[in-house]
Chain A
């Protein structure tokens, strides 16, 4: 029987990777991901995890080595953040198009410049179009659960795509909190040994990564796109299996007090929990506010999203990254485009805030919800607002 313990979330994630009995880890250290890879090194060094740990010389090589390992049928894992993820950018596209399953933890951290080691979502938002399945954890338990789920999703023969699990740097990764680690037998039943479909095998030689001329390129890309879109059903299926095995349920778009809410905060990552507390406060003062947080970012869960916002008049989107010179934050942008051809649409107010680790308190969320309602009432179109920036 697994029991709840106080544990740093980074350590918990490393323990989840151990429970998944990963075969190969390749990683390069970068704040705030280091505690994960350090603990994994200890587990391997102490013989608690039978895996090859490749201390590569760069993140570009980290993902490259993981692709190589996955290509021979090994369950493979890496973790990174910010600049490291940016350095992997070239290989992200290749990993998904090669249809090789692997799992990566991204401990979200601001992209330089200025160099900043604190939390926002600018790193992962820059990887939106790489063809990876992208999940977001809101607390330590979710970080553990999503890591185990990620392997099962990635390795499903209907999917065979790499999966990234996002958790906020420092404000989640470095926090000691209550986490329940499932026991090994239950995990082994939920996540059996990886049976590769595509494998470099001298007895059945295949060529991976061939040169695709204009005649064939689009057909290969179409296949990847259909696999990514189709993966949404598998994700839901894996979540059902997980709930049966471990009793914790997961949704592509999670709801909090959305019943009877006219305004919904739209968040991602661990700041959602602070926002939920803010919603509690606003509800007590009679404000009809609720919250949804997007757990499955890619493939974008359109159906679940529309169901979750039913009845809402105003969406107050909290973006943790900016799309400079564009129509606003990436999440606000996607939500407006998703709603574009709906007959009735809630008013969408997009607020870019909390960049570079600026703390997001309950007050900020109250201000965001209230301002969103004011914008909606004024009927004034609002592209986006960077809230929390000192004007004077």
Chain B
């Protein structure tokens, strides 16, 4: 289990336990949760519809300048929604190398 980082002494605990650094959960790489498979995009088939980006619960796709969508292994949990919803079957789930 990834230890929660920044276990500070009580005096350094932020007021009321409020987390000041919005979005700092990005530090936690949920990509470690993949164990079986991960998606791979065949850009020949991709028509830039963006469904992979729209339907990803973990926002593991980012829009590239060329209009294609880039997969980010740091956060993808390997659920397979993108592969299933890609209208052109451009995304296949491939085995995670163990």
Contacts and interface: CB of A to CB of B under 8 A. Distances in A.
Q: Which of B4, B8, B16, B17 has the most CB of A within 10 A?
A: B16
A228 B31 CA distance: 42
B7 A207 contact: no
Interface string A196-237: 011000000111111011011011101100100000000000
B15 A216 contact: no
Contacts of B7: 215-216
Interface in B16-52: 16-20, 22
Interface string A159-173: 010000000000000
A98 interface: yes
Contacts of B8: 219
A210 B19 contact: yes
Interface residues of A, number: 23
A381 B8 CA distance: 48
B18 A206 contact: yes
Contacts of A218: 10
Contacts of A205: 22
A220 B17 contact: yes
A198 B16 contact: yes
A97 interface: yes
A99 interface: yes
Contacts of B13: 216, 219-220, 222-223
B16 A100 contact: yes
Nearest to A223: B13
B10 A207 contact: no
Contacts of B18: 98-99, 198, 206-208, 210
Interface in A19-74: none
Contacts of A223: 10-11, 13, 15-17
Contacts of B11: 223
Interface of B: 3-4, 7-11, 13, 15-20, 22
23 contacts: A99-B15, A99-B18, A100-B16, A160-B16, A197-B15, A205-B22, A207-B18, A207-B22, A210-B18, A212-B17, A213-B4, A215-B3, A215-B4, A215-B7, A216-B4, A216-B17, A219-B10, A219-B13, A222-B13, A223-B15, A223-B16, A223-B17, A226-B10
Given A206-B19, A219-B9, A223-B11, 4 more contacts: A98-B17, A99-B18, A206-B18, A220-B16
